[in-house]
């Protein structure tokens, strides 16, 4: 998504340039927070509320997916501190985070939010003021007159949306957020080149998909035909209706429910495992044996089962399954799983010991 909606009366090209050559995520989350405030009918916006929204919008990505925002970006440190001093949960609802931070009188929280004041409100306007770029006070003064049709006026406490921009921002709010998230995605992908599915890790989905289908239409079939199977972690026998569905590589990293990453597990252990990584050398062999058993069982008894399509990323031609040696199939699973676990570990996911 490279272009914003045109408007001959506004310097749209300058707004577009705000998202180029960035060294932190601040501008993206700042602009998204501005648009969200405008969507609520606010055109004079307290900066504290914008900083609170910035943190809330980055909250899920930072806490759940362990993505790197770059060495100069302080969101990770800010959010970790706020969780500690404000007593907020990592899966806290966005609106509660915003309200908690806006009303907070805790000195550490206020100081943390004010850090963004020196990083983004005037810097975002720099493309409108090339000759005084980096000069905070001069940009503040020039913005008060909406010089060069800049997006907003800014002072020590608030921003005021330029009336010339109000209709455009309101009318195109959805497109503008999509444009911003697209460029944020490119920024984050560049700094996390081996992490899958970045786009779906930038905001919290309204709900997680149910794992009922892989249970009923895949693993229950396996257990009915082969008998109880052993949990690879606890070695307990697992019967139908007595197991949980486990993401071998955590959902928080892969961000999908592909059947090749799902296995039955002891319910209590699965709860404690949470988003921890399995140690490859300890658990992979048992994981593979279970996957091989399941794949061949379902393929041979129900070759049109749609969940089998998930395995095409590992074995593009499933008709070769029964002629492929165990070693060859295991190598294909290894090539798929091992890099994911390694990269997730490098990104800060804890290992399960």
pTM greater than the 0.85 cutoff: no
pLDDT at 43 over 60: yes
Residue 221 · residue 302 · CB < 8 Å: yes
In which band, very low, low, confident or very high, does the pLDDT at 131 lie, cut at 50, 70 and 90? Answer: very high
In which band, very low, low, confident or very high, does the pLDDT at 255 lie, cut at 50, 70 and 90? Answer: confident
Query: Quick count: other Cβ atoms within 10 Å of Cβ 66?
Result: 21
pLDDT at 1 over 60: no
Q: Cα–Cα distance between 154 and 152 in angstroms, integer? A: 6
**Confidence at residue 286, expressed as pLDDT on a 0 to 100 scale:** 97
For 146-192, the pLDDT digits (tens) are 999 999 999 999 999 999 999 999 999 999 999 999 999 999 999 88
Q: Cα–Cα distance between 66 and 254 in angstroms, integer? A: 12
Q: Cα–Cα distance between 158 and 206 in angstroms, integer? A: 31
pLDDT at 353 over 80: no
Q: Any idea how long the chain is? A: 353
Residue 26 · residue 120 · CB < 8 Å: yes
Residue 231 · residue 264 · CB < 8 Å: yes
pLDDT at 274 over 60: yes
Element (H, E) at 262: strand 262-265
**Confidence at residue 290, expressed as pLDDT on a 0 to 100 scale:** 97
**Residue 146: strand, helix, or coil:** coil
pLDDT at 346 over 90: no
In which band, very low, low, confident or very high, does the pLDDT at 134 lie, cut at 50, 70 and 90? Answer: confident
**Mean pLDDT for the chain?**
92
**Confidence at residue 228, expressed as pLDDT on a 0 to 100 scale:** 95
Element (H, E) at 153: strand 152-154
The highest-confidence range among 193-207, 269-283, 287-301, by mean pLDDT, is 287-301
Q: Which of 16-20, 65-69, 270-274 has the lowest mean pLDDT?
A: 65-69
- Picking from 319, 325, 290, the residue whose alpha carbon sits closest to that of residue 304 is 319
- Domain boundaries of the chain, sorted by first residue: 12-201, 212-346
pLDDT at 22 over 90: no
Query: Quick count: other Cβ atoms within 10 Å of Cβ 271?
Result: 10
Q: On the CB side of 144, how many CA atoms lie within 13 Å of its CA?
A: 8
Secondary structure (DSSP) of 196-246: S-GGGGSS--SSPPPSHHHIIIIIHHHHHHH--EE-TTT--EE-TTS-EEE
More confident residue, 100 or 252: 100
Tell me the average pLDDT across 71-89: 89
Q: CA 296, 297, 302, 306: dihedral to nearest 10 degrees?
A: -60
Whole-angstrom Cα Rg for the chain: 25
Q: Cα–Cα distance between 318 and 333 in angstroms, integer? A: 14
More confident residue, 347 or 122: 122
**Confidence at residue 23, expressed as pLDDT on a 0 to 100 scale:** 87
């Amino acid at each position: 998504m490279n272009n914003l909606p045109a408007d001959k009366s506004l310097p749209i090209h300058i707004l577009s340039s705000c998202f180029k050559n960035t060294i932190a995520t601040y501008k993206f989350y700042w602009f998204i927070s501005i648009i969200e405030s405008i969507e609520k009918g606010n055109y004079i916006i307290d900066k504290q509320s914008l900083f609170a929204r910035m943190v809330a919008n980055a909250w899920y990505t930072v806490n759940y997916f362990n993505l790197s925002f770059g060495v100069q970006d302080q969101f990770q440190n800010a959010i970790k501190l706020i969780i500690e001093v404000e007593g907020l949960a990592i899966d806290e609802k966005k609106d509660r985070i915003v309200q908690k931070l806006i009303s907070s009188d805790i000195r550490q929280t206020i100081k943390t939010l004010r850090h963004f004041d020196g990083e983004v409100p005037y810097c975002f306007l720099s493309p409108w003021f090339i000759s005084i770029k980096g000069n905070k006070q001069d940009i503040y003064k020039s913005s008060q007159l909406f010089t060069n049709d800049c997006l907003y006026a800014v002072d020590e406490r608030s921003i005021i949306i330029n009336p010339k921009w109000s209709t455009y921002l309101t009318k195109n709010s959805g497109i503008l957020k999509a444009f911003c998230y697209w460029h944020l995605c490119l920024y984050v992908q560049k700094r996390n080149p081996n992490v899958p599915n970045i786009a779906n890790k930038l905001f919290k989905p309204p709900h997680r998909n149910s794992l009922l289908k892989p249970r009923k239409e895949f693993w229950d079939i396996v257990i009915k035909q082969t008998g109880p199977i052993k949990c690879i972690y606890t070695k307990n026998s697992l019967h139908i209706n007595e197991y949980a569905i486990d993401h071998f590589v955590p959902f928080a990293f892969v961000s999908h429910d592909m059947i090749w990453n799902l296995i039955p597990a002891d319910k209590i252990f699965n709860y404690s495992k949470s988003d921890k990584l399995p140690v490859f050398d300890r658990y992979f062999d048992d994981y593979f044996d279970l996957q091989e058993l399941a794949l061949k069982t379902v393929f041979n008894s129900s070759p049109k089962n749609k969940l089998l399509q998930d395995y095409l990323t590992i074995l593009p031609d499933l008709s070769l399954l029964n002629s492929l040696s165990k070693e060859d199939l295991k190598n294909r699973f290894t090539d798929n799983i091992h890099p994911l676990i390694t990269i997730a570990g490098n990104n800060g996911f804890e290992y399960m010991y």
